[in-house]
Amino acid sequence: MMKMKFLLAGFVAGISLISQSAGALADDIYTTQYRISVIGLTIARANTQTHIGQNSYRLKGDFASSGIARIFDQTDGTLLIAGKVNKSGFLPDSYHLQYQHKKKAKSTSISFSNGQVTGTENSPPVKKRDPWVELTPAQLKNITDPISAMMIRAKSPQDVCAQALRTFDGQTRADLRLSYTGKGRYTTLGFKGETVECTARFVPVAGYQKDKESINYLANKSRISISFATLGNSGIYAPVEARIGTKIGTVKVSAMRFEKIN
């Protein structure tokens, strides 16, 4: 279930990075609020504030379990990301996730350099249970964190979904392979407009237990769809809505607010 939460974190936090003006000299600031639900019941909420400058970005977010889910699975956490902005998109330099799950403190920190992982620290350490698929150094090149990966610079809507997003969350290397299905629309506080609809396939690469039921379900049975949107002529797309099939039902991630505040 925690792996699912971090996959969801990648979807929802990515929304807040959507609108970047390439010629801006001062930081643009965006605030967002999200709702995560299963069969209509809210299970988590998240908030982020993102500063985007001409050559850099930084994100600060917080998230917490909510509603009936909080009775059985109390989770509260924060997320900090900082990195560079270039013509290709967003390149993280640092990623730090800190949270409490059932009153136990946990954290993940990753350092990057030009798309390569240069350091990872998990507290407590990752428990490697057989049959474990080990990471290799080559698998930690040309990747990004699950959040920055959702930022896609594209020339056309169809190009948005012509992607294989290569991610590392501090434990698992995975790809998210997108396919174009059409166009839609989305309305929320601060945004109203057209979306690009993609299906996604989760492909685990390394850093996971091979026969783990939740991983196998995501890889082989889950139906995943993502709605991407962009503001103005930035050419940068990010998700405003996602649906992920799980054994307990479809998890829905929705942006309840997406607004520029400066």
Residue 88 CB neighbours (<10 A)? 9
Give yes or no for a contact between 77 and 64, defined as CB atoms under 8 angstroms apart: yes
Percent of the chain predicted with pLDDT > 90:
60
Q: Answer yes or no: is pLDDT of 20 > 90.
A: no
d(CA 156, CA 236): 10
Return the closest-CA partner of residue 6 out of 259, 160, 207, 155.
Answer: 207
What are the structural domain ranges in the chain?
Answer: 2-260
* Mean pLDDT, residues 126-154 taken together: 93
Q: Answer yes or no: is pLDDT of 39 > 60.
A: yes
Of 98-102, 170-174, 195-199, 227-231, minimum mean pLDDT range: 227-231
pLDDT of residue 97: 97
Task: Annotate 3-60 with DSSP letters as a single string.
Answer: HHHHHHHHHHHHHTT----TT-SSPEEEEEEEEEEETTEEEEEEEEEEEE-SSEEEEE
| Per-chain mean pLDDT for the chain | 87
pLDDT of residue 151: 80
206: its two tokens? 């390394």
For residue range 188-217, what is the model confidence (pLDDT) as tens digits? 998 899 999 999 999 999 999 999 999 999
